[in-house]
Chain A
Amino acid sequence: MTMTSETAIRSNASNLWGLANPTRFMGFANRAIPVLGIATMLLFAIGLYLSFTAPEDYQQGYTVLIMFIHVPAAWLAMMTYSVMSISALGSIVWRHPLADVSLRTAAPLGAVFTFLALATGSLWGKPMWGTWWEWDARMTSVLILFIIYLGIIALSKAFDEPSEAAQPLAIMTLVGVPLLPIIKFSVDWWNTLHQPASVSRFDRPAMGPEFLYPLLIMALAYMALFFTLHFMSMRNEVLARRIRAMKMKQARRK
């Protein structure tokens, strides 16, 4: 079977496989980024408006507004790691360069979301709990997630040849996966300062709708922001690799 017919079969098999082709991905990204960007701005506009017009909490006063930044950032910190682990699987099992690109470019975004969650949590904790930082299970496990993100970023920069970093990055990412359920359930397993989950419960959320809707819209806005930035930086990475390949070719020709 020739190379071209094989790729044709693959791309016809399903859309997802088609996107695995870098050129197709670039076309998709070029179309998706403006749409996602506009969606992000709209969602943030609605979400921020609803957040600021949300009523004061009877206990927390206006500090409850921090929640609309803090909680989605924490969710995204974990979602980004999930995206990275799925990419890591793709990178190990199919050795696909695009999966590696996705993993590598998601790491800085995840680190920023994690930092945002930690920083806003700290700002929220000072008026509510009277302390900037407490070594409670939820905070500590998120801090560990932050360190893992930084470690993965450091590892991705440590290799001279970017393609050599693919396997180590994927393995390191997968080794860190058990942390995700630990973070999720840390508030249930250890009875500590951080309050337990009040949105994703089986019966009904423990939160009033006047807080729930802005929170969910902010979460959607964060997700749209993540995918916009992720596609943008994946596109940059693919372009950077092409430039690198061209430079190598040129250097060889001389």
Chain B
Amino acid sequence: MLALLKREIRIAWRAGGGALTGVLFFLAVVTVFPFAVGPDTKLLSHLAPAILWIGALLASLLGLDRMFAQEREDGSLDMLVMQGHPLMLVFFMKAFAHWLMSGLPLVLATPLFGIMLNLSPLGIGATMITLLAGTPAISFIGAAGASVAVKLPRGGMLISVLVLPLVIPVLVFGIAAITGALTDPAPFTTPFLFLCAITLFTSVLGPLAASVMLRHSAD
């Protein structure tokens, strides 16, 4: 399992692997927003958590179609399916590696982009924690989406269409938690715990769906 994780990370860091592309894309989305809504710092700091979350969401969706497609092309997916480990664990590892390479860099880049958007330190902290708790869920749900579209030659767009409605709860509770941290009467803990619950729930459901899907897809 650890070997699989190492392998995934090596592939992602290799040229063209796309680990850094995600952060670049995140930067691009964050940069585009002030152009669209105007450079009003007050408005921007108000919108900043939303911009960061949407940027992270879109950047996480970016690499999903590659999660299984390349493995399927070169046949290593069949090897993964046929070796002895429980398939669900294998896909959990793959989704986790996807998060390490796409979600975690975004979390680490959040303080920088938060300052650019004039977000308060408390807001930056809240955004980072909620992104840390929430983005794994995107990867886990995305694993299910990617496994569904693995046989499609042009599945990239379709995966996003399928996955986006399912990750909306993640977004809702993430933003609710940030709002709770920044404004007084709204609670932070309740939506944050819901967010953690969603991530734990999807960490089972996503790999399970992917393993059911891909177990019999070997051809």
- How close is A94's CB to chain B, nearest CB, in angstroms? 14
Selecting from A107-115, A120-128, A170-178, A219-227, the interface stretch reads A170-178
Q: Which residues of B contact A182 (CB under 8 A)?
A: 169
B161 touches A171 (CB 8 A): no
How many Å lie between the Cα of A254 and that of B171 in the bound state?
56
Given contacts A154-B158, A155-B158, contact A175 B205 (CB under 8 A): yes
Q: Which residues of A contact B216 (CB under 8 A)?
A: 167
Contact of B213 among A147, A155, A167 (CB under 8 A): A167
B209 touches A171 (CB 8 A): yes
Q: Which residues of B contact A168 (CB under 8 A)?
A: 147-149, 151, 213
Closest chain B residue to A167, Cβ basis: B213
Q: Which residues of B contact A13 (CB under 8 A)?
A: none
How many Å lie between the Cα of A55 and that of B213 in the bound state?
53
Q: Residue A148 at the B interface, CB < 8 A? A: yes
Q: Residue A187 at the B interface, CB < 8 A? A: no
A171 touches B205 (CB 8 A): no
Encoded as 1 (CB less than 8 Å from any A CB) or 0, chain B from 46 to 82 comes to 0000000000000000000000000000000000000
Q: Residue A159 at the B interface, CB < 8 A? A: yes
A158 touches B152 (CB 8 A): yes
Encoded as 1 (CB less than 8 Å from any A CB) or 0, chain B from 146 to 165 comes to 01110110010010011011
Q: Which residues of B contact A203 (CB under 8 A)?
A: none
Q: Which residues of B contact A193 (CB under 8 A)?
A: none
Q: Which residues of B contact A92 (CB under 8 A)?
A: 212
Query: Could you tell me how many residues of chain A have their Cβ less than 8 Å away from some Cβ of chain B?
Result: 19
A155 touches B162 (CB 8 A): yes
Contact of A175 among B144, B152, B158, B168 (CB under 8 A): B144
- How close is A115's CB to chain B, nearest CB, in angstroms? 15
Q: Residue B175 at the A interface, CB < 8 A? A: no
How many Å lie between the Cα of A137 and that of B72 in the bound state?
40
Q: Which residues of A contact B164 (CB under 8 A)?
A: 147
B155 touches A158 (CB 8 A): yes
Segment 136-151 of A: residues with Cβ below 8 Å from B: 144, 147-148, 150-151
Q: Residue A6 at the B interface, CB < 8 A? A: no
Contact of B168 among A144, A155, A158, A164 (CB under 8 A): A144
Encoded as 1 (CB less than 8 Å from any A CB) or 0, chain B from 122 to 160 comes to 000000000000000000010011011101100100100
Segment 187-219 of B: residues with Cβ below 8 Å from A: 205, 209, 212-213, 216-217
- Which residues from chain B sit less than 8 Å from chain A, CB to CB? 141, 144-145, 147-149, 151-152, 155, 158, 161-162, 164-166, 168-169, 205, 209, 212-213, 216-217
> What are 21 contact pairs spanning A and B, CB under 8 A?
A147-B161, A148-B165, A148-B166, A150-B161, A151-B165, A158-B152, A158-B158, A167-B212, A167-B213, A168-B149, A168-B151, A168-B213, A171-B144, A171-B212, A172-B144, A172-B145, A172-B148, A172-B162, A175-B144, A175-B209, A176-B166
Q: Known pairs A144-B165, A154-B158, A154-B161. 7 more at Cβ < 8 A?
A: A151-B165, A158-B152, A171-B212, A172-B148, A175-B166, A175-B205, A176-B166
